[in-house]
Structures are given as C-alpha cells and as structure tokens.
Amino acid sequence: MMDFLQKKDDDIDFFDDIGEIIQLNYSSTGLTGMEYLLDKHVVDTSTDAGVCILFAQKIIESIYAVVLDYKSLIDANWHYLYSPSSDWAKFCKICIFLLTVKDYISSMVSETNPELQDVGYYHLLNKAADEGRFEIGTVATTNYNRFIEVVLNKKVAFLNGSTETWYDPYLNRIGAKEDIKTDEKHILVPLLFTQSGTKPMTTIDMSITYVNTYKEWKNADKIVIVGFSFGMDDEHINGIIRTLIDRDDKKIEVVTLNSNKNDDEIIKEIAQKLKTLKCENISVIQVSDSGRTSDGCPWTEKI
C-alpha cells in the first residue's frame, strides 16, 4: 500500500477527485447553532429532558452573546445608510438590523415592565428626590430605553440615541418620527448608534444635547455617575467628564458595583480611563446589585 501511495500511477485519478468530495466551509461554522436559536424552539420543562434542553439553550445563547459583536456589525455597516442607491443590499441589512434591535429592546422592557417596579436605581433616585434629600438636575444616559423618563418624570438626555428617537440619514436629522417625516418620505431608522457611528453626532440636535448636558453639569452642586464604565468607546462622553474635572475643577462621585478592590484602586483606574491627573476630584460608592452599600443603605443616602 505504501508503494502505491509513493508511486502513484498517473492514469489513476482516484486521489484527484478527493478535493471535490471533501470540502470544508469555514464560513458556515456556527450557523447551525444560530439557526437553532433563531427558530425559538419551545421545550417542555415539566420533564427532566426538557429542563436539560432548556439549560443547553441558555448555554448556547450565552456563547453567542459573547461571540457576536453587534458594535462591530453596526460600525462596519453604518456608512451604508448614506449610499442606498449604490449599496442597496447593505443599506437594507443595516436598516433591518437596527429595526430588529429596536423591537427587541422595546419588547424586553415591556416584558420586564420596570415602570411598575420600585427596586431599581432610578426608583431609589426618584424616591430620594420625593423625600426632599436633593433636587435632580440634568439626567443623561447611554441606555436606549426610555422608561427612565417615566420613572423620574423628567426629560432625559439620551447620549447614544434611544428606541423612540429616529434618524433620517439623507438629511442627517434626528427626532421623534412624527417630527422628522417629510413629504419626500425618506427611509428612517432608529437612532441606536455606537460610538463609531459618528455622523448622527454631527446633527444640530445631538450637538445641542451634548452642550446643554455639559453646561447643566457644570452648574450642578454635585455630579453623580451610576453604572458607567468610562470605556475607550465612550470618549465622546468621557471628554465631557474630563473637562469638568480638569478645567472646571468639578468633583464627581461614581456609584459602582462591589469588587475586591478598595476605593483608591478603583479611583486610580477611573482616572486612567478618563486621562485625568486630578484623582482628588473623584470619589466612589461601592454598592450591591440592588443599589445598596455594605451597611444596607441605598446609594442615594451616601451622595
């Protein structure tokens, strides 16, 4: 057999056809699992087998949630919003994706119904304000859902867009859907941009939002930041905070989840992310998932 393999007869074409029989399609790797999740299989959890299957589904969902990078998808395709005539397929791809994400976020918020709860961070904030502990100034968020406005009964600045804000890429205009409709009937998409989707940030309304947020925070007695990571993709917001700390000498208080680090270590990390040397203008409050400190007090009692 070895002689046969080493001395192949040119008249025998058996091995020449193997390449056509065996083909590896790396691009389809993982598609089967994705198709399974998208089909939304419902399992009967009344049986042990059903519980095991549901557990396996949750594991697969977690894997895909980590592997799939929606930011990269938006960043790589956002610019096609401005060239529908020459890139119609890709234009449709990013439009459909944004609409799907918007519907998903809205449905999740509707199922959770946070407006009726009373244990969230915003509920604690609203309760403290109602008790007269302090007056809430300007609230800004990077979240896309708008239930915050309902809970606080206050207008909120959405620095990365929201599920109820729409974008007209043709006119580079943002606003409520009924406000930016035109007789030309442009295709509108939800304003859910990531940090690399810079074009909407050049709209006059978004610019006003950032400027007003900065001015209001500058005039505030205290700036409190809750659940913000100061990531490198958040430089458009980090720049505002950095200016307040360095140039305006404002103090910020950061409410963050408990960790195995002490306050000084966390402050140093935040200062490095913000690229500021004024660590003395930063303080932290470590809290649990429920927004309470180690002694059980709501975070609103510590600011």
Pairing of strands 189-192, 161-168: antiparallel
The least confident of 47-56, 81-90, 192-201 is 192-201
d(CA 238, CA 221) in angstroms, rounded, equals 19
DSSP state of 159: B
**Phi, psi at residue 156, to the nearest 5°?**
-120, 140
pTM for the whole thing? 0.72
Rg (CA), the chain: 26
Average pLDDT, whole number, for the chain? 83
The least confident of 47-51, 63-67, 158-162, 215-219 is 63-67
More confident residue, 285 or 183: 285
- Do 256 and 284 contact (CB within 8 A), yes or no? yes
Q: Which residue has the tokens 């961070």?
A: 121
Give me the DSSP letters along 255-294: EEE--SS-HHHHHHHHHHHHT-S-GGGEEEEEE-TTSB-T
Q: Which residues pair with 35 in a beta bridge?
A: none
Average pLDDT over residues 259-279: 91
Average pLDDT over residues 235-239: 88
Retrieve residue 175's tokens.
């606003």
**Phi, psi at residue 193, to the nearest 5°?**
-90, 150
Average pLDDT over residues 249-278: 92
The least confident of 17-26, 146-155, 170-179 is 17-26
Reduced to 3 states (helix: H, G, I; strand: E, B; else coil), residue 298 is: strand
Q: For 123-143, how does the pLDDT look when each residue is reduced to its tens digit (9 = 90+)?
A: 889 889 999 999 999 999 988
Q: For 277-303, how does the pLDDT look when each residue is reduced to its tens digit (9 = 90+)?
A: 899 999 999 998 888 888 888 889 888
CA end-to-end span of the chain: 81
pLDDT for 79? 86
